[in-house]
Structure formats: C-alpha cells, structure tokens
Structure 1
Amino acid sequence: MKERFTYFSPIGPLCIEAEDGKISSLQFSDRELTSENFDPKLLTSVTEQLNDYFAGYRFEFDLPIQPSGTDFQKKVWNELLNIPYGQLATYGKVAQMLGDKNLVRAVGGANSKNPIAIIIPCHRVVGAKNNLIGYAGGLWRKKWLLQHEITNKPDEANLW
C-alpha cells in the first residue's frame, strides 16, 4: 500500500511516497497531498533528516529508498549517491563513472527520471562547462540546492 505525506521545505512542498517501509518517490509539487497511512517511524526519520539537511547540517541521508526504474536508471542513480555533498559532477563524469563516456545522453535521460529528488542528488549533475541545465523541480531550485550545499559544506570551500 502506498503511503503519502507532504513535507514543507524552504523551496516548496515535497510530496513523499513510500511502499513497504521504503521511500519510492520524493518530488517537488505546487500542491499539498493528503497524508495517508505513513509509517510513523519512517515519517519521523524522513522529517528529521530533511529538517537537518535544510538547516545545513546533514550532508548525506540514511533512509531506506526503493526507486522504481530500469536497471540502467538504477545504476545511474546509484552513481549519483557517490557525488559528495556540495560538489558537482558533469553528465560526462557520471558516464565515465559507469564505465562508458558515450553514455552522456543516456545518463541525462536517467537523471531526468530520478523519482527521489534531493536524497538521490541529481541536482549535483551539471553540463560540461558546469552550467546548470535540466532539473525537474525547476532550475531555480537546482541553483538553490547547490548554493545551499556549497554554503553549508563542512570545509566551507566555495566552488563558485
């Protein structure tokens, strides 16, 4: 059974869905979803970790996730989890991490279908010249998330 709730972030509502105790979707929305049957323990963990992330002192998530997608998409999303907080990777770099520099467009396609925003940090992937391109939540959110991470990065290094 799908469980749903809306988390109110500084950059808009996040609609979160879970199945079998694992997060299956976290997407930006312009409207609030009616909360339904969300496991209280998971709800507490998700809320605390997102609160900490947006407060600037959580640098990685420790939540059970189960994104739905093709085997290739899941490989891409697993690579995205290796991009450190406050750092950028190009689509080409992610393709190289997968072992084939010719997969740039396929990586972009998989990145655009990421069902679990923020936790699977697709916002850290940028164009070849570090330009901000493509983000399902809107480029202004991508820019906000990157600036938030760069500003709160533990070593306080500013990449921009």
Structure 2
Amino acid sequence: MAVDLRLKNRTDQVFSDYEEIFVGNSIVFEGFLLPHNKKARDTQIVRFVSGGRRYLTYDLDRDGVFVRGVIRYGALAESDPESIEVSIAKIEAAIGRAPRKIPQTRAVNDAQIDKIRFFHANGMSQRAIATEMDIHYMTVWKIINKKGAYAE
C-alpha cells in the first residue's frame, strides 16, 4: 500500500517530534515519521515539508523513521520597494490594521469618462457602452455611479 502524504495533513499527522528552521533560502528540518508514514518516499516527504513550493535541491538522510533534511530554494528576488509597500498596505487593509493606502488607477482618461457619461445620459445601456468603448462593463458602472477611482 502506497503512503500518501497530503499537503492538507498537519505536521503532527506525519511526524512526531518535528522541528524546522529557516536558514537563508533553505529549510532545515528533522523529525520522526509516524509508523504509518515510514514507507513514504523521499520526494513525498520533501514535497510535504516544502508545502508544495518549488525548490532547487534537497538533501535527505533517513535512519529508520528518523528523517533529517535540507530544502534549498532559489535566491530571493530583488523587490521593488514601492511594490513591497503596496503589498503591505493590502495586507494591513485586509486585516483592518490600517486605512487603505493603495493608489487607485483609472482604466480610462477624462475624455473617455465624459463620453461614457454622455452615452449613458442618452439612453445607451452599460453593456453597449462597454462594448463600444472596449472596456469592462464594471468600469462603465463605476464611472456612471461615481465609485472607486471615478468618485468625484
């Protein structure tokens, strides 16, 4: 019977006495496999510990049910500081810790906004306007109802 270490399993369902630490771009881990998981393949164990994330290499030593290993990931990408700030603002706004500071952008310019409002005032449907202007119908709705970046 094949062992199936699913990613949705908790660590205590796979290991007893498990520890991991992050060193640079690597995870160093060790633990004792529970008896029903001792026939798991090395690749299954690495996939479980890594959470299914892509890694470059791994080393795994096994002694019966004792497992010790290192999973190495790629170098951390250079990040744009502005994108980091935007990401942090999104996370904080989502958990309610800070007001939303994400800059709102527009899909259309002011001349197009005037044209959309003119079409709507003359009885054209929102979907027909969206098709005519080659934009999403929700953008038309936001413009007409003055929501989001189109609020005045």
Instruction: Calculate the TM-score normalised by the size of structure 1.
Output: 0.22
More contact order relative to length (CA 8 Å, sep ≥ 6):
1
TM-score (norm. length: structure 2): 0.23
Which protein is richer in strand relative to its size? 2
